[in-house]
Structures are given as C-alpha cells and as structure tokens.
Amino acid sequence: MTGVSYTAIRQLFSSAATGLALFAVLSNAAPAQPPLRTLDRTNLLQYRDDSGTVKPVTNAAEWGKRRADILAAMQQVMGPMPGDDRRVDLAVKIEEEADAGSYVRRLITYQSEPGSRTPAYLCIPKDVLAGKHKAAAVLCLHPTDNTVGHKVVVGLGGRAGRQYAAELAERGYVTLSPAYPHLANYYPNLGKLGYVSGTMKAIWDNSRGLDLLESRDYVDSTNGFGAIGHSLGGHNAVYTAVLDERVTAVVSSCGLDSYTDYMDGAERVWYFGQGWCQIRYMPRMSNYRNKLEQIPFDFPELLGALAPRPLFVNAPLHDSNFRWKSVDDCAEAARPVYELLGDPANLQIEHPDSDHNFPDDMREASYQVIDSVLRPADN
C-alpha cells in the first residue's frame, strides 16, 4: 500500500463505519450498509423460495437458487462483478521475452478494462508455440509478495514451493500469471475504476485473463481452464472460479478457512486496513467486527458453489494463517452439495505435515487433478 499508513488509520478510526467513510473518500466509493446473513453458513441444503420461505434443497434446480444467493452475497461485500461492456479489446503487449528451456516466458500487459492494463506472465511450451499442437491452459495466481509479486510463480522469486506456473509450463500447459492489485508494481486506481475492493478487481483481471487465453489459437479450451494458487492465490482461485465457470479445475493451497475462524476470531484483524479488511481485499468486511456470524457469505458456501467441479485443497497441519480443522469444517458443509450433484470424490482435502507452504508432493497431486480435467484422454 502506498501513501497512507493504515496502522495510523486504525488507531484514529476504530469504528467500521468511520473506516469505510474514509475508504469512500480515498476511492470515491460510497460505503454500504452491511447486509445480514439470512441462511445457515454450514447447512447448504436449504434455500429461500420466491416467497422467502426457507425450504430444503432436494435437487440441482433448488441448489441453483441457493447458489445464486451466495453469489449475490459475495458481491454485496466485494462489489459487483463488472459487466460485458468492460470487456474491451485486450490489446496485448509483449514487454519482455525469455527462453525458459522447454517453454517461452513472456512478460505481457493486457487491457483488462478501459483505463487499466494488467501485467502478467504468459508461459508457452515451445512445441505449442511452433504450432505442433494446442495445449490446455491454467491460470496461476500468486501469493502475497510485495517485492516480486507474480514473478514468484514463474520461478523468479527465489521461494521454494511457489513456482507452479513454471512447473505446469514444463508439464506442457500454457500458463497465465496476472499480477494482483496493490502488490509489488501493480497499483490500479480502484476507486477511479469503480471498485470497492481489490478482491473484485483481481477477479475481473483473472476473468479477462481467461478471455486472453481463449483468444490464443494455440490454446485448447475444450475442457475449460485450471486455476491454481497459494495463500492469497489460493482464495483468489476460489473466488474467481465461483464467479467464472470457465474454470473447471481448482487448486487452493493455504488459502482459506471460515471467516469466523480466521486467526481464531481475533478482533484486531477485523479493523479497517487489517486482515481481510485491507483495500487490496474487502474493506467492507470491517463492518462485521464483533459480529462475524453475520458475514453474508463464507468459505463453506464458496466451496459448495464450486460443485461439482474438481477442487483440491492443500491445508497443512501447521499453517499459521488458516486453520486446517476449519478447512475440514468447510469441506464437511460443502460435501453434501457435491453428493447432490453426483461427484463427492471431486472435493479433495489434504493435510501435509508442514507449515504455510505448498510441498512438492502436494503440488504434484494437484497437477494430477488438473490433468484429470484438462487432459482426460491422457488419464
């Protein structure tokens, strides 16, 4: 973050309402009244009918109504997903190109919307670039890194366990790794662009990244796209896949637990500018300090909203950011939706004996899940 000390802001403006008013001044975004939760976060097999009566979900159509409510609740907090009028010409520019052995790595920018260009790394296997065959593509979303940003996933960040874009390119995939808003060297003016959260800007950049991949004649999108991410990239992958169903295989490493369990519910992380309430995430979350149960959507519902698509979650036993037991609770709540839609095995949760990391064996297992969806003929 630049130009403002958010520690100072928290000290001066401790109330959520005042913090959001300040955010409105900074970003030209009007603060919203916090919406209230209307259905149980862990009982996903219930929905409200047209009269508002709570009823049990018994089929896919009824689940579709609950899912629509989940998506609406997300956007009450994140801000609305931009419409197709923002899908302007991508105007891709190649800024740098490097030989990476079996693939070519390009640093590009693309016009994600009017007035905004998004940096990204595009990795293309050489045989694919030569026109020998098409390849499936994976969106590779980076963890929090305010120094190298998206470089870390293409192996340029010097951190083990984060180079999944490079590894998937070596495996024969086309990979696209967009920068995340307000990290490293990417600072779009969120307020001027009409966003109330960095989260929604990231989702839109990712969706436009899928448009870019679809536009490349060397990409095979027959079976959709993969999305993989660690930490920040882990929840970014989930959010993006919920709102863009072109993502057909999802991998989330160290990226989630229930909002009610985050940092064991510590009040200090729910002030404006802290935790989930930072501008790069969702400032409106600060409305729910001391009333976390009222947050209108949560990860049990988001995991359910991904069903029946294959989802691989790496939740280490010693992750200091997200609690593995909470991840299990989220999965337990989502599993009945997977069962309803016929694919309970598609929800896979692993608990390696590690810290906040993405170990080698977990990355390999996640790649196999992606392979099973994007390269079914090879399995």
Please say if the pLDDT value at position 53 is more than 60: yes
Range in 3-7, 244-248, 365-369 the model is least confident about: 3-7
Domain boundary assignment for the chain: 84-375
pLDDT confidence of residue 276: 97
Average pLDDT over residues 324-338: 98
Which residue would you say has higher pLDDT here, 283 or 12?
Answer: 283
Average pLDDT over residues 306-325: 98
Range in 22-31, 119-128, 184-193, 324-333 the model is least confident about: 22-31
Average pLDDT over residues 185-195: 97
pLDDT confidence of residue 379: 65
What integer best gives the mean pLDDT of the chain? Answer: 91
Average pLDDT over residues 255-267: 96
Please say if the pLDDT value at position 113 is more than 60: yes
pLDDT confidence of residue 372: 98
Average pLDDT over residues 360-375: 98
Please say if the pLDDT value at position 375 is more than 90: yes
Q: How confident is the model at residue 38 (pLDDT cuts 50, 70, 90)?
A: confident
pLDDT confidence of residue 8: 35
Per residue in 54-110, pLDDT tens? 999 999 999 999 999 999 999 999 999 999 999 999 999 999 999 999 999 999 999
Q: How confident is the model at residue 16 (pLDDT cuts 50, 70, 90)?
A: very low
Average pLDDT over residues 276-291: 96
Per residue in 137-168, pLDDT tens? 999 999 999 999 999 999 998 888 999 999 99
List the CATH code of the domain at 84-375: 3.40.50.1820
pLDDT confidence of residue 19: 40
pLDDT confidence of residue 18: 36
Query: What is the dihedral angle through the alpha carbons of 122, 125, 130, 131, rounded to the nearest 10 degrees?
Result: -90
Burial 229-250 (b: 16+ CB within 10 A, else e): bbbbbbbbbbbbbbbbebbbbb
Please say if the pLDDT value at position 3 is more than 80: no
Give the global pTM: 0.91
Please say if the pLDDT value at position 116 is more than 60: yes
pLDDT confidence of residue 280: 96
